Amino acid sequence: MSSNAEAPLRQPRHQKLQELLREAIESGEFAEGEQFLTERQVVDRYQVSRPTANKVLSGMAAEGLLEFRKGVGTFVRRRPLDYDVRTLASFTQKALDAGRHPSTQVLDFDRVAVTEVEAEIAAHLRAKPGETLLAVGRLRLADGIPVILERRWLPAALFPGLNRGELRGSIYRVIAEKYQLEITESDQTIRAIGIRGSDARLLQVPSGSAGFLVSAAGYARDRAVWWERTIYRGDSYEFHHHRAAPGRLISIPASGSGRAR
């Protein structure tokens, strides 16, 4: 396309185009989660070249304003979910607070001997030889998009009768209400990672995509109740350090307000 076609935008072209596209989002013309203009539509609407349109759309995606979904198109990115490092908050409640629809897929639910798991897992759970653990794998989705891949191990002796159906809801609520265990402490380590292999496939991201790995243990007084390794998609979460009110280590919605973590 000739330089005359781009004249209406003046110089610098890509900055002016970015301003116009931002205005289209901020004005509400394109709401969070809605499909955005394609490269071709940007070219036709604003009379710019394809390289200019591509540069601006890619830049807005890098800023977190847009997201590309392979084979589907470009969408206005929803605001990221909030992970408060000082509390164990319900995934479902956080998703609902962000205007997202939460759901859970239970990938694995197995009984395993302590000897079958890594030494690190057994050590964090303070498990003794001969004990049995529950190995749980869950995929958490917001608006049908996988955002969390959770792998958790629990001492089987603490949770007799735990069933697969309960894992589609709040583990925190089951622990508190069915098993009468009060989680008083949590020890968490957060590390930036590249999501690869089967983890990337489950989370539906390209191999090497940015993510966060949270390794954490939950304790009821001096008893280790779980150990987990959970991967969070880097494009879907922000980690914050909020002030926790006394007695509010775990935040779950009231009974009847929907399923939670």
pTM: 0.69
pLDDT at 3 over 50: no
How would DSSP label each residue in 198-241? Answer: HHHHHHT--TTEEEEEEEEEEEETTEEEEEEEEEEETTTEEEE-
Indicate the pLDDT class of residue 172, thresholds 50, 70 and 90: confident
pLDDT in tens, 68-108: 877 788 888 777 666 665 666 677 777 777 777 889 999 99
- Residue 243: its pLDDT value, please? 53
105-117: average pLDDT: 96
pLDDT in tens, 125-157: 999 999 999 999 999 998 888 999 999 999 999
- Residue 76: its pLDDT value, please? 83
In angstroms, rounded to a whole number, what is the distance separating the alpha carbons of residues 61 and 113? 45
Q: Helix (H, G, I), strand (E, B), or coil: what is residue 190? A: strand
Tokens of 85: 């490092």
Q: Do 133 and 117 touch, CB atoms closer than 8 A? A: yes
- Residue 87: its pLDDT value, please? 64
Neighbours of 167 (CB within 10 A): 22
- Residue 232: its pLDDT value, please? 92
pLDDT at 2 over 50: no
Phi, psi of 135 (to 5 degrees): -105, 120
In angstroms, rounded to a whole number, what is the distance separating the alpha carbons of residues 115 and 100? 40
pLDDT in tens, 5-62: 444 545 577 788 988 998 988 888 988 778 999 999 999 999 999 999 999 998 888 8
Q: Do 250 and 91 touch, CB atoms closer than 8 A? A: no
Indicate the pLDDT class of residue 222, thresholds 50, 70 and 90: confident
| Of 71 and 239, more confident | 71
In angstroms, rounded to a whole number, what is the distance separating the alpha carbons of residues 206 and 44? 30
Which one, of 215, 250, 251, lies nearest residue 230 by Cα? Answer: 215
| Of 252 and 120, more confident | 120
Average confidence score pLDDT of the chain: 84
